[in-house]
A and B are shown apart, each in its own frame.
Chain A
């Protein structure tokens, strides 16, 4: 945020025109990240300041290549497609966890609880009250955070090509059964005049 750096007169700042969440610009691109770091360290040569330089390359938040992560059609007709999908993708999530040694799932539920949480969201979408299907008060936001993190992390394991800005979020909400279940449950709660504090944060503002 160039505006902030200027107003605060930061001693040395590299203004990067990258989307929020991508401080070094491009994930899995060590060469590009090194260029950004080198540009930042070059500011140390200045003998007086404040110094504010703009990095040459711009990365837009929108319009980049979508995630290439196709999901095959469902096979298990015994469970809801989103539950089937989340169960089937557990192996990919586990591989991502093992490879990276980390996960951001765990704000409210763990990975094993994802299918059950999705089945409860299916019930909300079918008209059940959110507080009657097993979600403790104040837990929906964190639960959906964990479902989304579960999918975004496994997507990075399955996807071909670069992880571009917002591509995992768009893939999750637009192409997965779980994302569709969440958006549907959100619409149903809104239509039923549920307190927006319960449903608004289940998807980015502006996503329907």
Chain B
């Protein structure tokens, strides 16, 4: 019996059978040039600061955590035993590339790094209704209010 997280065939089969929301229209926008763009990260690694409660086990926690740009005291709330946490243990940037963005800002490749970034839990209900209708738009509004131009979504 293979370990699920290492079995790419099983993962692809899982992805193919995953229920997904269907959209009639695909949103597509043209942002400002990269060298002028303010960029925020949204990750599904369930990151949270050490002094926060973090995320609940199971598939019913649709809230998001707001991560200040300078925060590095982050724990990974992706608690599945079938998840490889070694990469994150070694380097936060492998799921949350905040230091890489700051380097790109210093090199003037991007315009700015947002003051706040966001983490959701990747394990969600089949319909993801709570995120689609509530916490997702709330998170998007927070980024719009800050003037974010581009969102980098990192899935785990």
Report A's interface with B, CB cutoff 8 A.
Answer: 1, 3-4, 7-11, 19-28, 30, 33-34, 37-38, 40-41, 44, 47-50, 60-62, 96, 100-104, 106-107, 141-142, 144-145, 148-149, 152-153, 155-156, 163, 165-169, 201-207
Contact = CB atoms under 8 A, between A and B. Distances in A.
Interface stretch (B10-18, B112-120, B137-145): B10-18
Given A4-B15, A206-B2, A24 B81 contact: no
A3 B20 CA distance: 11
A149 B85 contact: yes
B84 to A, nearest CB: 4
Interface residues of B, number: 64
A106 to B, nearest CB: 7
Contact of A22 (B8, B27, B84): B84
B23 to A, nearest CB: 7
Given A8-B20, A61-B7, 11 more contacts: A1-B155, A23-B155, A28-B90, A33-B94, A37-B97, A61-B5, A100-B92, A101-B72, A103-B75, A145-B81, A204-B5
Contacts of A153: 89
Interface string B25-42: 011111100100100000
Contacts of A152: 85-86, 89
A21 B4 contact: no
Interface string B83-117: 11111111111110101110110000110000000
Contact of B4 (A9, A60, A205): A205
A7 B4 contact: no
Contacts of B30: 47
A104 B76 contact: yes
Contacts of A38: 109
Contacts of A26: 94
A21 B88 contact: yes
Contacts of B11: 1, 20
Contact of B81 (A4, A28, A203): A203
A156 B89 contact: yes
B127 interface: no
Contacts of B1: 205-206
B69 interface: no
B86 A44 contact: no
B140 to A, nearest CB: 14
B133 interface: no
Given A37-B104, A41-B34, A44-B150, A104 B85 contact: yes
B26 A101 contact: no
Contact of B23 (A9, A34, A168, A203): A9
Given A21-B84, A48-B28, A102 B50 contact: yes
10 contacts: A4-B18, A21-B87, A27-B88, A27-B94, A28-B90, A28-B91, A41-B34, A61-B6, A104-B76, A205-B81
Contacts of A41: 34, 109-110, 150
B52 to A, nearest CB: 11
A19 B23 contact: no
Contacts of B74: 102
